[in-house]
């Protein structure tokens, strides 16, 4: 049965095909009836969502006007964007959603989630197809599109499409992204401070050059010699030992390490006494595991290049410490730094290659500027979050960026930026800790009502049933048990300053 709203709005959706925007062409417009969106499929590794988890469901996405456009801010640009406009029940607001890895695909799942909440939403592929950085070879303008231009241009175009469709501009505009999407959000705050009123930046890959030096260094640590490699069947034993060593340090035995920075677990604790087995580590594996927990440093100056894995992250180590270095990281050197498809990751030298990558990037992709004065002056609010068990981007990176902003902006920063570290959460989602939470409501209440988030309730589910809730606390606060009641109920916890170690 067609919805009345769809029938009324269809003509104006249609008319968007004639909309003229600078450096843009509308390629298709259509009303998608409620629940009928089907994610485009492609072939091979470049297919939308390939290797990025199960395909999202769109069954409960209400009817929307789907606008597809191509943006060409440079002669070499080929930026695909989609703007999804609810045909009825628009909440008057705009939400742009971020990408993962090297992008190269529209983020359909997050678009659907935004429209479900009544948002007009937008996503871009950032100007190339497929999740590799090979597009950048010989295409500096396309690299600029990936680095920041595609997101900004998408935002400008989407706001124009929204104004045209509804007859009014969005009352509030938000960014919502994790990983590369977190980097994109921070880049927006730093470079285009007027684009968004609120930004959610999860587990940001905002120090990409250093992040990828570290990612490759992790692979080098477990491939130093054949005996260094830690087979994944040993991860549970390391994980168990780390959690057992540090669980109680936060005052509560709950299987979670509330603040891993206080945990000084030495994997030598499970070094094999006799026969090698999945329950213990050989001496070279102990050495490799120690390197994974440690930050990567410049061997001459001692300067930290990037923080290490935290205790608790072990179950996800295959992401970077598998049989090969992660392609998302080696691509930075292959296609951006050395521009040599035959570059061998075994040859990376953190001392020299960090400086080389920094020099070549020169702040293009990296988004580490701590000066958020223009964003704060625009009344912008920034929520960051990061799982303490992140296996792909060391969580200390978010602590470092947050700290750099606090140092630069002084006492103002607490009113404009908050960081929520998530015990036991892996990269952007998943993990043993409560890892499902509603950052969109938190940023809405902060931006629209002036209520800064004092805590955000997170939940953990097993087979679709919630088995634990827990407050996430603004860093450096941690969730502290009140001393009575279920440890699986958030009501029995309070956000408090960390106690002295
Ligand atoms: Ca604990």
Enumerate residue ranges in the chain where pLDDT < 70.
1-11, 42-54, 411-413, 500-501
CA 366 to chain centre: 14
Distance (Å) from CA 432 to ligand 1 centroid: 12
d(C-alpha 70, C-alpha 197), whole Å: 25
Q: Residue 437, class by beta-carbon neighbours within 10 Å (0-12 exposed, 13-18 middle, 19+ buried)?
A: buried
Q: What is the pLDDT of residue 501?
A: 55
The whole-angstrom separation of Cα 422 and Cα 481 is 16
Q: Which of 77, 179, 228, 398 is catalytic?
A: 179
Catalytic, 386? Answer no
List Cβ<8 Å contacts ≥24 apart for 490-493.
Answer: 490/457, 490/458
Give the closest residue to 207 by CA, choosing from 305, 133, 303.
305
CB 324 within 8 A of CB 241: no
Query: Positive or negative CA dihedral for 319, 321, 324, 327?
Result: positive
Q: How remote is the CA of residue 250 from the centroid of ligand 1, in Å?
A: 5
Q: How far apart (Å, rounded) are the C-alpha atoms in residues 298 and 37?
A: 50
pLDDT at 42: 56
How many Cβ atoms are within 10 Å of 167's Cβ, its own excluded? Answer: 8
- Residue count of the chain, please give it: 501
CA of 441 from ligand 1 middle (Å) equals: 28
**CA–CA separation, 216 vs 301, rounded Å?**
20
- Cα 324 to chain centroid, rounded: 22
Could you identify the residue written with the tokens 């589910």? 461
Rounded distance from Cα 249 to ligand 1 centre (Å): 7
Our CA angle for 377, 382, 387, nearest 5°, is 160
Beta 198-202 vs 120-124: how paired, if at all?
unpaired
Q: Ligand 1 center to residue 259 CA distance, Å?
A: 8
Dihedral, CA atoms, 481, 483, 486, 492, nearest 10 degrees?
-50
pLDDT of residue 51: 45
Query: Half-sphere exposure of 316 toward its Cβ, with a 13 Å CA cutoff?
Result: 22
260 Cα to the center of ligand 1, angstroms: 10
Q: How many other C-beta atoms lie within 10 A of the C-beta of residue 316? A: 22
Q: Residue 501: which of 251, 309, 243 has the closest Cα?
A: 251
Q: pLDDT tens digits for 270-298?
A: 999 999 999 999 999 999 999 999 999 99
Q: What is the tens place of the pLDDT at every residue in 474-495?
A: 999 999 999 999 999 999 999 9
What is residue 105's three-state secondary structure?
coil
Tell how strand 456-462 and strand 478-481 pair up.
unpaired
Element of type H or E holding 413: none
Q: How far is CA 361 from CA 35, 355, 357, 408, 453, in A?
A: 43, 10, 6, 23, 35
481 C-alpha to center of ligand 1: Å? Answer: 10
| 3-state SS record for 238-299 | HHHHHHHHHHHHHCCCCCCCCCHHHCCCCHHHHECCCCCCCCCECHHHHHHHHHHHCCEECC
Cα(251) to ligand 1 centroid in Å equals 6
Cα–Cα nearest to 391, from 149, 99, 179: 179
Q: Do the strands 64-71 and 24-32 form a parallel or antiparallel pair, or are they unpaired? A: antiparallel
Which DSSP state fits 147?
I
3-state secondary structure 343-382: CCHHHCCHHHHHHHHHHHHCCCCCCCCCCCHHHHHCCCEE
427 has catalytic annotation: yes
Tokens of 472: 């996430």
- Assess whether 132 carries a catalytic annotation: no
Centre a 10 Å sphere on the Cβ of residue 414 and count the other Cβ atoms it contains.
Answer: 12
Pairing of β 417-422 and β 381-387: parallel
Separation of 255 CA from ligand 1 center, angstroms? 6
Nearest to 456 by CA among 393, 405, 384: 384
141 vs 446: CA distance, rounded Å? 36
How much distance in Å is there from the Cα of 244 to the middle of ligand 1? Answer: 9
Please state, as a whole number, how many other Cβ atoms lie within 10 Å of the Cβ of residue 258: 26
**What three-state secondary structure class fits 132?**
coil
Q: How many CB atoms lie within 10 A of CB 30?
A: 15
For ligand 1, the distance from its centroid to the CA atom of residue 78, given in whole angstroms, is 49
Among 390, 398, 413, 460, the active-site one is: 390
Q: Which two tokens stand for residue 170?
A: 């969005």
Cα 234 to middle of ligand 1, angstroms: 22
**Res 46: pLDDT:** 44
312-318-319-324 Cα dihedral, nearest 10 degrees: 150
Looking at residue 500, its pLDDT comes to 63
Rg of the chain's alpha carbons, rounded to an integer?
23
Sequence-distant (6+) residues with CB within 8 A of 430 are none
How far away, in angstroms, is 229 Cα from ligand 1 center? Answer: 29
Residue 62 sits at the vertex; the CA angle it makes with 57 and 63, to the nearest 5 degrees, is: 115
Q: Is the dihedral of CA 132, 133, 136, 141 positive or negative?
A: positive
């Amino acid at each position: 049965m067609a919805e009345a709203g769809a029938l009324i709005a269809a003509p104006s959706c249609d008319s968007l095909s004639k909309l003229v925007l600078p450096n843009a062409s509308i390629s298709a417009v259509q009303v998608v009836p409620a629940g009928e969106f089907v994610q485009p499929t492609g072939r091979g590794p470049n297919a939308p969502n390939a290797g990025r988890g199960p395909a999202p469901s769109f069954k409960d996405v209400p009817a929307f006007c789907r606008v597809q456009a191509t943006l060409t801010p440079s002669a070499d640009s080929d930026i695909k964007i989609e703007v999804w406009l609810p045909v009825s029940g628009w909440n008057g607001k705009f939400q742009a959603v971020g990408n993962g890895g090297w992008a190269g695909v529209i983020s359909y799942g997050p678009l659907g989630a935004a429209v479900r909440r009544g948002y007009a939403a937008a996503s871009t592929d950032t100007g190339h197809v497929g999740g590799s950085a090979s597009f950048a070879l010989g295409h500096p303008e396309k690299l600029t599109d990936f680095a920041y231009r595609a997101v900004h241009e998408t935002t400008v175009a989407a706001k124009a499409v929204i104004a045209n469709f509804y007859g009014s501009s969005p009352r509030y505009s938000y960014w919502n992204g994790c990983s590369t999407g977190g980097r994109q959000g921070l880049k927006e705050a730093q470079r285009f401070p007027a684009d968004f009123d609120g930004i959610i930046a999860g587990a940001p890959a905002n120090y990409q050059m250093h992040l990828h030096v570290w990612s490759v260094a992790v692979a080098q640590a477990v491939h130093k010699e054949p005996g260094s490699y830690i087979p994944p069947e040993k991860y549970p034993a390391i994980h168990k030992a780390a959690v057992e060593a540090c669980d109680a340090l936060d005052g509560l035995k709950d299987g979670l390490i509330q603040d891993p920075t206080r945990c000084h677990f030495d994997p030598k604790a499970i070094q094999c006494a006799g026969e090698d087995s999945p329950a213990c580590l050989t001496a070279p594996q102990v050495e490799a595991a120690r390197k994974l927990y440690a930050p990567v440093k410049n061997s001459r100056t001692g300067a930290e290049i990037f923080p290490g894995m935290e205790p608790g992250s072990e179950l996800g180590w295959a992401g970077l410490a598998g049989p090969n270095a992660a392609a998302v990281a080696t691509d930075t050197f292959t296609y951006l730094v050395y521009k040599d498809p035959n570059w061998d990751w075994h040859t990376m030298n953190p001392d020299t290659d960090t400086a080389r990558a920094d020099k070549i990037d020169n702040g293009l992709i990296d988004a580490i500027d701590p000066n958020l004065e223009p964003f704060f002056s625009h009344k912008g609010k920034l929520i960051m979050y990061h799982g303490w068990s992140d296996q792909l981007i060391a969580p200390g990176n978010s602590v470092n960026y947050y700290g750099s902003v606090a140092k630069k902006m002084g006492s103002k920063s607490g009113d404009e930026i908050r960081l929520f570290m998530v015990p036991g959460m892996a990269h952007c989602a998943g993990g043993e800790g409560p890892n499902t939470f509603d950052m969109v409501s938190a940023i809405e209440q902060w931006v629209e009502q002036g209520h800064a988030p004092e805590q955000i309730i997170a939940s953990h589910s097993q087979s679709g049933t919630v088995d634990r809730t827990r407050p996430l606390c603004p860093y450096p606060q941690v969730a502290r048990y009140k001393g009575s009641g279920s440890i699986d109920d958030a009501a029995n916890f309070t956000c408090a300053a960390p106690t002295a170690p």
